Structure 1
Amino acid sequence: MKNYLRGKNLWDVVESGSASSPIDAQKDAEALHIIQLSCAPNIFNEIKDFQTAHIAWNHLAKVCRSEFKIQPHIRHGVVSDNVREHKDLYKFVENGNWEGASSYLRDQPNAIFWAPSSGRTVLHVATIKGHITIVAGLVYLGKKQLIEMQDEDGNTALALAAAYTGNLNIARRFLNAEGGEELLGIENKEGEIPLLMAANSGCKIMTRYLFFHTPRHVMDDPHNRVLLMERCIQAHIFDVALTLLKSYEELPIESLRVLLDLARMTFGPFTNSPWKTTIFNFRSGTLVDLILAIMNMFRKFVESTMHSCGLKSKSRERHKNEFLQILRYYKDSVSKLNSSQLRKALMYDAMLEAAKHGNVEFINAMRKANHDLLLATDNHGRDILSYAVLHRRYYVFEFVLTLSENKDIINYTTDMFGNNLLHLAAHLVPLSDLNRIPSAAWQLQREIDWFKAVEEVVHVKCREAKNDEGKKPEEIFIETHKELMKDGEKLVKETAGTFAIVGVLVITVMFAAIFTVPGGLHQDTGLPIFIKDKQFTVFIVADTISLLASIFTVFIYIDLQTLNYTPTDFQGRLPTKIMSGFGCLSLSLVSMMIAFCAALGIVLQKSSLYKHIFVGVVILAPFSLRIPFSFSFYWRARRYIKLLFSGGLFSILWRFLPSAN
């Protein structure tokens, strides 16, 4: 910014702060305007009333200095060359040698209060190093005078423990000493008390401990309460934040800015939410839906069992409940604010942040507090629904639609660039959301599904509407997803080639197995010796199924090499073929395993080892079956696995299984 102002020949008036001539006054107004335009809305609100660029610049420098100030690491130079006196004592303390330190202090007792230019006494050093025994000894010898000594930054030893080490045992030593609770109210040079420093560093246990010991008169300071609330929300220390809200019914309006942080919380879909997404539900009422429901019930049963056994942490559920309670407190406060107060509290920004992060509960709570918050828009004219579309927040999208009274008007709104909702849906998903999608092919399929889902909801005019650049939504989709389509095509072809090779190997093995049947052939007739054996029937059927499934797999993956790889292919044909080929290959491998077990049973039917092998196969079979039916993969591909069921591949296998048993 400084270089830009210098390039515009405006820096002199900003630096001097004087506008003696009309020309300087014009430069000052232009510089002030540039500075204000460069600030985010929350910072702009702080400098919008300033009359000169010099005052605005100094205010920004004061605000930003604390964020970009370079701080040395607390362990750097604990005992350095600047310790001219009592260096042996510092070495003893740093190395954890209490015997040497106590012997030294017996000879020179005043050395315990000496400090170098950094202001760090031996108690500071022992605290940084985490030597509890030495801290206890020094506190016993130095009493109140020692524990209240501050370093050059104004930090007591307790402040260092709270902000940097998080050592609760050392903190207890300080608070249990004479005058220990007074340490909780001592501020450093930046006006920070130990509790605020602990919350700022995210030390949850230390923050809870110091909060319940900090005297009431210290927390009566509104600045401390607001800052503590902000830092507890940012560090997810919800229990302390909730207790603070219950202890102080009225908080300053500045404390409402923590709602920005609450809006960014993401706990996933809430189980007690009254709405369910229907955009990607495929309810056909078939046998497959019943199977999916049973598998979902089994998955929930396993999760509940793990939860009851203590294998799954309960902290997430507790955080959700505390989060909802905090929302209820702030909902009552927000309901009492007028429009100007809502803007000052950044409530409209918080609603957009909630839509961006998919926080439906926040949007619902604030809507109940003030329905006008649903009309929040940013500087580009994008509202909550636009943010939900742009960031692929399905629950927010559907929830806002259910609240919209006139859907045609809302769904045809445009931003300042002429983009309607379908234009926004055509843009590539933000990079922050890509880590949830396993591959380029799956991502592109989801992008197409989302685009089609929004297309069905918006006004018909949106499909052919052009933005200010003269582009239709479909044109934007093809342009922004061009590289993704190339990556998806490359990935699919490589996967298809690999699976085709595996299919060819299975074909070779199973074709050869037909002519080398277990037990051999009769020399006079050429028929297999065990042709009337049930296990032999299982072997032949499983071998045939494996051979045919492998042939289908190779044909399917060869066909994948000839596709044009258009967006419609990624939505329909391509996923269907991938999952069909994957299902055929899985069926082939499972049938091959069955054929192997049957052949092994024929060869070893008179051996006692057969029983042990059978038990081993039964144990290993579920693990082999888990590969094609992995839950995470299954739920991503559930739409296309239904096609396999409808094609009858698994029904064929199911028909042969009773004879195999």
Structure 2
Amino acid sequence: MESIGVVSRGIVREVLTRYNYQEWKTLMENYLRGENLWEVVESDSVFDAQRNAKALHIIQLSCAPNIFDQIKHFQTSHIAWNHLANVCRSEFKVHQHILHDVVSDFSEHKALYKFVQTGDWEGTSSYLRGEPNAIIWVPPSGRTVLHVATIEGHITIVKRLVHRNNQLLEMQDKDGNTALALAAGYTGNINIATFFINAEGGKELLAIENKEGEIPLLMAANSGRKRMTRLLFLRTSSDVIDQQSLHNRVLLLERCIQAHIFDVALKLLKSYDELPIESLPVLQELARIPSAYLQASLWQTMVDSLKNGTLIDVIGAIMHIFIIFLTIFRYPKIWEKILRESVFRHKNEFLQILRYYKDIISKFNSSQLRDASVYDAMLEAAKHGNVEFINAMREANHDLLWAMDDHGRDIFSYAVIHRKHNVFQLMHTLCGNKINYRTDMFGDNLLHLAARLGPLCDLNLRLGAALQMQREIQWFKGVKEVVHVKCREAKNGEGKTPEEIFIETHKELMKDGEKWAKETAGTFAIVGVLVITVMFAAIFTVPGGLRQDNGMPILIKDKWFTVFIVADVISLLCSILTVLIYIYLQKSCYAPTDFLNRIPDMIKQGLWCLSLSLVSMMIAFCAALGIVLQKSSLYKHFYLGILVYGGYLIISFIPLDFIFGLVNPIIPRDFLQNLPH
């Protein structure tokens, strides 16, 4: 019980983090006062070794691990307390937002600024005729009428104000920002920025720094505004960029890579005759780019599947293409953006940037690699699944493959912990069929790490807990197949085997998966019952009616009647099968291994049956409509249009990512090809 810690004894509600300093400070101060320890914390002159040690111990135990690391070397509680106050206050410094109410800042010319803020040029023009000097009047915030018009995005007022007085362009607010700087860093309005640059004297605005020493180009890159950054980079002369400090040029490079503006970053790199050492921290940003554009890899995977894949691979690739074309019609703006950004071009630019750094890294020795944090960058790349980065650095220096953190975890470990199958496959290919037995400082081998609950990604949050559980089992079994045999029964520092850790850490996920599967089954079963009810009733109310003498359908020989009957029967049978499948799922007992194949397969089968039932119901409806309207030329093809549109709606609104996640394993097939089923 002694290991529970201070927090559980009622001193503070939760340990100190970056977000709860004020509450933590109040509770901690009250507790220290009650324990007669506040005097040694508050005053540097009062020193009692025993009381100081006790107060310091309480403060340290009440901090989160990352906060504790900052104060663990302090010898007095007074210094530690003041350090926490300075750090937390600086982290939570509130900055005034750029779009605050500018009218409340002053009393003079309030009406003018109100006109500008609301976009009323007639009111603005009328006011300036009576007060012509108000156009260049500067309020306490330093923002002129041009600043306000720029913030609000009123391009008409911006143009007319500049035509009235060109001096407004160079005027800066209290932060040193010109109107162009505000457009570049805060609003991202391309039209206004282009007008400023093309105006008389506009080129000089590109070189004006604010009080933080940043030109508009730097501010645009910091905001991640790609189009604005490209515009300003093209219009800013190379002399202006070269005149910036080395720190600012490296900062611009880093910000462009962070925002994935690779074309600008590549041009910056080409401007160097030799890359400066100061640019090496950019490697960390390159390493954090996840999987180097999965979209491009997806296209390549589909092409490979169509050329060399099995029948299942070909079907999967065709489904991928069908889904993509379907989403083009449903979300045209998204695909317009993808085409405009040109995924393939960006990936090529990313690889070219890597080549620049590969050349400089190849000249480093081990100590220089360590000083430049290249080993850390390799681990970051493994964490984010960036195999392109790992491959490039490996070609520069093969020793980088053995990067290891302070806990004794290498690239293999990071790939397993963060579930990056592409990194694991790459390392497995490079290191041979079997992986050497190794443990970290906690005694965990790779199978122990695979047994722990992995991070939840966006895909798994959409697909549900059951498929997250499936993914976890796949990972555990996949790693188990490739690690050393003795890893399977080895015990870690806590005396636990991988199997024990897996069961312990996945209890809650398994409960959530069972709940999710049963709720999903219940929802789909209700839909199936509704379809059964409709289709069962439809068979006794056939279109055209029945004969009075023998009860046979009047239009039994009509081809559309045959279509109606067949579609009705198929829909009814598929709905019944759907309900039976989901009732079985509702009443089943769930074991961990069931989440690997049985549960996903049954949900998939039920969903396909339900989809076929809905499509068949739509066909039966259109056939019945065709019988009713077959003598009307006005509606001759009306029911065909309903059939096509109805089929589109059914297919497009079914959760395709759900189906696709069930049809194709989340972990690639070659990673799981030897798994026992």
TM-score for both structures, normalised by structure 2:
0.74
What is the match of residue 209 of structure 2? 187
Identify if the C-alpha distance between structure 1 residues 481 and 121 changes in structure 2 by more than 3 Å, giving closer, same or farther: same
The Cα shift of 1:231 comes to 1.7
Instruction: Show CA shifts across 1:345-396 (max 9, x none).
Output: 3322222222222222222222222222222222322222222222222212
Amino acid at match of 1:385: F
Asked if 1:115 corresponds to 2:138, the answer is: yes
Cα contact 1:186–1:193 (8 A) shared by 2 = yes
Aligned equivalent of 2:430, options 394, 403, 428? 403
What is the match of residue 626 of structure 1? 651
Q: After superposition, where does 1:436-455 map in structure 2 within 5 Å? A: 437-455=462-480
The Cα shift of 1:140 comes to 6.3
Q: Secondary structure at the match of 1:99?
A: helix
Q: Take 2:110 and 2:639, find their aligned partners in 1: how far apart are those partners?
A: 74
The Cα shift of 1:204 comes to 3.1
Instruction: Show CA shifts across 1:571-590 (max 9, x none).
Output: 22222332333334444444
Instruction: Show CA shifts across 1:433-475 (max 9, x none).
Output: 4655422222222222222222222222222222222222222
Cα contact 1:89–1:104 (8 A) shared by 2 = no
What is the match of residue 373 of structure 2? 346
Amino acid at match of 1:206: M
Q: After superposition, where does 1:553-632 map in structure 2 within 5 Å? A: 553-592=578-617, 611-612=636-637, 615-616=640-641, 618-620=643-645, 622-623=647-648, 626=651, 631-632=656-657
Aligned equivalent of 1:337, options 348, 358, 364? 364
Cα contact 1:93–1:101 (8 A) shared by 2 = no
Instruction: Show CA shifts across 1:554-612 (max 9, x none).
Output: 43333223321111122222223323333344444445555566666677777768954
Aligned equivalent of 1:244, options 265, 268, 279? 268
What is the match of residue 103 of structure 1? 129
Asked if 1:328 corresponds to 2:355, the answer is: yes
Amino acid at match of 1:159: A
What is the match of residue 671 of structure 2? none
Amino acid at match of 2:226: K
Q: Secondary structure at the match of 2:100?
A: coil
Q: Take 1:83 and 1:331, find their aligned partners in 2: how far apart are those partners?
A: 59
Instruction: Show CA shifts across 1:223-252 (max 9, x none).
Output: 220111122222222222121111123343
Identify if the C-alpha distance between structure 1 residues 194 and 511 changes in structure 2 by more than 3 Å, giving closer, same or farther: closer
Amino acid at match of 2:590: Y
Identify if the C-alpha distance between structure 1 residues 331 and 105 changes in structure 2 by more than 3 Å, giving closer, same or farther: farther
Q: Secondary structure at the match of 1:497?
A: helix
Identify if the C-alpha distance between structure 1 residues 554 and 187 changes in structure 2 by more than 3 Å, giving closer, same or farther: closer
Count of paired positions: 620
What is the match of residue 164 of structure 1? 186
Cα contact 2:116–2:157 (8 A) shared by 1 = yes
Asked if 1:355 corresponds to 2:378, the answer is: no
Identify if the C-alpha distance between structure 1 residues 593 and 315 changes in structure 2 by more than 3 Å, giving closer, same or farther: closer
Q: Take 1:195 and 1:68, find their aligned partners in 2: how far apart are those partners?
A: 27
Amino acid at match of 2:95: Q
Cα contact 1:275–1:399 (8 A) shared by 2 = no
Query: Percent identity over the alignment?
Result: 63
Identify if the C-alpha distance between structure 1 residues 205 and 595 changes in structure 2 by more than 3 Å, giving closer, same or farther: closer
Instruction: Show CA shifts across 1:405-442 (max 9, x none).
Output: 47331xx3222222222222222231454655422222
Amino acid at match of 2:415: A
Aligned equivalent of 2:281, options 250, 257, 277? 257
The Cα shift of 1:205 comes to 3.4
Cα contact 2:112–2:124 (8 A) shared by 1 = no
Cα contact 2:622–2:640 (8 A) shared by 1 = no
What is the match of residue 216 of structure 1? 239
Identify if the C-alpha distance between structure 1 residues 150 and 619 changes in structure 2 by more than 3 Å, giving closer, same or farther: closer
What is the match of residue 397 of structure 2? 370
Amino acid at match of 1:262: L
Cα contact 2:615–2:647 (8 A) shared by 1 = no
Amino acid at match of 2:280: L
Identify if the C-alpha distance between structure 1 residues 48 and 606 changes in structure 2 by more than 3 Å, giving closer, same or farther: closer
Amino acid at match of 2:518: K
Identify if the C-alpha distance between structure 1 residues 83 and 200 changes in structure 2 by more than 3 Å, giving closer, same or farther: farther
Cα contact 1:539–1:599 (8 A) shared by 2 = yes
Q: Take 1:584 and 1:69, find their aligned partners in 2: how far apart are those partners?
A: 57
Cα contact 2:354–2:389 (8 A) shared by 1 = yes
Instruction: Show CA shifts across 1:274-293 (max 9, x none).
Output: 9979xx99x9956x555445
Cα contact 2:622–2:643 (8 A) shared by 1 = no
Amino acid at match of 1:568: T
The Cα shift of 1:222 comes to 0.7
Q: Take 2:568 and 2:341, find their aligned partners in 1: how far apart are those partners?
A: 51
Asked if 1:198 corresponds to 2:215, the answer is: no
Identify if the C-alpha distance between structure 1 residues 48 and 142 changes in structure 2 by more than 3 Å, giving closer, same or farther: farther
Q: Take 2:636 and 2:114, find their aligned partners in 1: how far apart are those partners?
A: 70
Q: Take 2:298 and 2:539, find their aligned partners in 1: how far apart are those partners?
A: 57
Q: Take 2:340 and 2:468, find their aligned partners in 1: how far apart are those partners?
A: 32
Q: Take 2:113 and 2:535, find their aligned partners in 1: how far apart are those partners?
A: 77
What is the match of residue 100 of structure 2? 76
What is the match of residue 514 of structure 2? 489
What is the match of residue 668 of structure 2? none
Cα contact 1:517–1:528 (8 A) shared by 2 = yes
Q: Take 2:624 and 2:149, find their aligned partners in 1: how far apart are those partners?
A: 72
Structure 1 unaligned spans of 5+: 641-661
The Cα shift of 1:315 comes to 0.3
What is the match of residue 254 of structure 2? 230
Q: Take 2:363 and 2:202, find their aligned partners in 1: how far apart are those partners?
A: 41
Instruction: Show CA shifts across 1:70-129 (max 9, x none).
Output: 322334353446455x666656665654534543455xx5x6665344444555445445
Identify if the C-alpha distance between structure 1 residues 65 and 166 changes in structure 2 by more than 3 Å, giving closer, same or farther: farther
TM-score for both structures, normalised by structure 1:
0.75
Q: Take 1:51 and 1:487, find their aligned partners in 2: how far apart are those partners?
A: 47
What is the match of residue 469 of structure 1? 494
Q: Secondary structure at the match of 2:339?
A: coil
Instruction: Show CA shifts across 1:185-204 (max 9, x none).
Output: 44333222333223222333
What is the match of residue 485 of structure 2? 460
Instruction: Show CA shifts across 1:265-307 (max 9, x none).
Output: 2354364699979xx99x9956x55544544565677799989
Tell me whether 497-506 or 132-141 shows the greater mean CA deviation. Answer: 132-141
What is the match of residue 672 of structure 2? none
Q: Take 2:652 and 2:608, find their aligned partners in 1: how far apart are those partners?
A: 11
What is the match of residue 649 of structure 1? none
Structure 2 unaligned spans of 5+: 1-15, 666-677
Identify if the C-alpha distance between structure 1 residues 60 and 327 changes in structure 2 by more than 3 Å, giving closer, same or farther: farther
Tell me whether 554-563 or 181-190 shows the greater mean CA deviation. Answer: 181-190
